[in-house]
Amino acid sequence: MLGAGSWGTTFAKILADGGADVMIWARRPELAREIQEARRNSDYLPGINLPIGLRATSRMDLALAGAEQVYVCVPSQTLRQNLIAAEPHLGANAAVISLMKGVEKSTGHRMSEVIAEVLPIAESNIAVISGPNLALEIAREQPTAAVVSSTSLETAQSVASISRNKYFHSFVNTDVIGTEFGGVLKNLIAVAIGIVDGAGYGENTKASIITRGLVEMTDFAVAYGAHPDTLSGLAGLGDLIATCQSPLSRNNTAGRLLGQGYKLPDVVNRMQQTTEGLASVGPILELARAKGVEMPIVEQVRQVLAGTLAPKDIAPHLTTDDEPQGERTLDGQAQGGSAVRRAFKRALDQLRNGGRDPGGDRP
């Protein structure tokens, strides 16, 4: 396990409780010593006793020695440099599994794409895990589930068979794009929910944003090649519900602080851990524009982060449009004038680009 934050440590516990031999790499030697000797990670999981068989080190070469599966859970913007440091110590046939829910700001790439770029391993040896996974609840052994996704069903099943125990169940799919984007996009909607919560709006507003947010998530992911069913499963809707409604969610908490009037630098300073949603807004909107996908909720979040929209003004904009339109369904169908025009425009753009979307070569 590369990474000893709350989710990395929790997932190491999941693996150890399932019978795996697990070594955590922690960047800070003192944290590695606490995990190894005291069976605690007081910085990130206060009050949680870690399994006796769980080991930790601050030496990456020792952490990776003989590893058959390497789980990576570091801040998304540091992934590339950590993979470069890890590459000399990786076994030739090791599977690499991403637990991260972000995109690289400089490239807009998903975490599995960064792994494929940096490491000399086959795509079939890369997997991602996502779902409604609030670390502290799982560390307390409250039951939940997640999705393991890989282009290789065999790899997904192999990872899922290790990533399960009496309180954690793993399902599998081969839709890596949908699984990863579900984990990224729900963070942005959770920030929006936090903003309106902090601004004093109630449950109707939040339910509207969650529902319309799922539509934005699905439109975006499908435009990049995902299957729509993935976004209505654990990696999409499941994760969205958990992240939007829980005070344990860092993205929800950051949004609430923004809604209460704190400026972005103050919010970043108050958060003790990385808040992936804040870093992902810009790259996701750039990717959305490349595919002609409209994301009004995420755009409103961007404006709040930039200080150009007051938090109290966000909710009316989130649930209205220039003209009445049909409610889009999760299978990509649409009823109503503006929705139809958007779909028609996207089809025309594809025809102009030889059957391809203007933002890339995926059909």
Tens digits of per-residue pLDDT, 184-208?
999 999 999 999 999 999 999 999 9
Distance between CA 242 and CA 318 in Å, rounded? 20
Give the model's pLDDT for residue 53: 85
The domain defined by 178-318 carries CATH number 1.10.1040.10: yes
Every domain of the chain with CATH number 1.10.1040.10 lies at 178-318
pLDDT (mean) for 159-182: 97
Q: Indicate if 345 belongs to the active site.
A: no
pLDDT recorded at residue 34: 97
pLDDT confidence bin for 272, thresholds 50/70/90: low
Q: What local confidence, expressed as pLDDT, does residue 319 receive?
A: 53
Distance separating alpha carbons of residues 165 and 359, to the nearest angstrom: 41
Q: Which amino acid is at 145?
A: A
pLDDT over 90 at 320, yes or no = no
- Consult the annotation and say whether 8 binds a ligand: yes
Kindly state the tokens that stand for 23: 């070594």
On whether 250 is known to bind a ligand per the annotation, the reply is: yes
The mean predicted confidence, pLDDT, of the chain is 88
Q: Is 101 annotated as a binding residue?
A: yes
Sign, CA dihedral 277-281-283-286, equals positive
Q: pLDDT confidence of 357, banded at 50, 70, 90?
A: very low
Copy the structure tokens of residue 160.
Answer: 């899922």
**Which region among 68-72, 315-319, 328-332 has the lowest average model confidence (pLDDT)?**
328-332
pLDDT at 268: 79
Distance CA 11, CA 206 (A): 30
Most confident of 95-99, 252-256, 349-353: 95-99
pLDDT tens digits along 233-266: 999 999 999 989 888 788 888 889 999 998 888 8
Is the model's pLDDT at 355 over the cut of 60? Answer: no
pLDDT at 11: 98
Q: What is the model's pLDDT at position 15?
A: 98
298: phi then psi, degrees, rounded to nearest 5: -65, -35
Is 186 annotated in a binding site? The answer is: yes
Kindly indicate the confidence band of residue 2, based on its pLDDT and cuts at 50, 70 and 90.
Answer: very high
CATH architecture of 6-174: 3-Layer(aba) Sandwich (3.40)
Nearest alpha-carbon partner for 315 in 192, 145, 131, 157: 192
Mean pLDDT of the 117-143 span? 96
Average pLDDT over residues 52-75: 96
Per-residue pLDDT at 356? 44
Residue range(s) in the chain whose domain bears CATH number 3.40.50.720: 6-174
25 is in an annotated binding site: no
Residue 307 marked ligand-binding: no
- Phi-psi group of 141: left, alpha or beta (phi > 0 → left; psi -120 to 50 → alpha; rest → beta): left
pLDDT for res 46: 94
Distance CA 173, CA 205 (A): 33
Length reported for the chain: 363
Residues 297-311: pLDDT tens digits?
A: 999 999 999 999 999
- Give me the catalytic one of 186, 206, 263, 345: 186
